[in-house]
Amino acid sequence: MIERIFCVQVDLEVKPASLFVQKASRFECAVYIKDGDNMINAKSILGMISIGITKEKKITLVTDGSDEEDAMEELMNFFLLKDE
């Protein structure tokens, strides 16, 4: 399992959230986003929209499974995230 805390550089509205879910769904590993006490499945469009990710918000991206490293790298690049 890999966990990284980031400061998001884009607002995650419906269209970007949908694109993120599509990218996350290409990987076999589980992908989660933690925001405080909330943890959502990042392969779920409803989860992604409900968490309300906005620019400059700190989140934790979690990947867990056989292709977790590749997933983490690609999904970090999607968000244009900066490591904290």
Contact 8, 79 (CB under 8 A): yes
Structure tokens at 75: 């999904």
As a whole number of Å, the CA-based R_g of the chain is 11
Question: In this structure, which amino acid lies at residue 36?
Answer: G
Of 20-24, 36-40, 76-80, the poorest mean pLDDT is in 76-80
Domain count, the chain: 1
State the burial class of residue 48 (Cβ atoms within 10 Å of its Cβ: 0-12, 13-18, 19+): buried
CATH number at residue 57: 3.30.1340.10
What is the span of the domain harbouring residue 45? 2-83
Query: Model confidence at 45, in pLDDT bands (50, 70, 90)?
Result: very high
- Which residue reads 């599509």 in tokens? 22
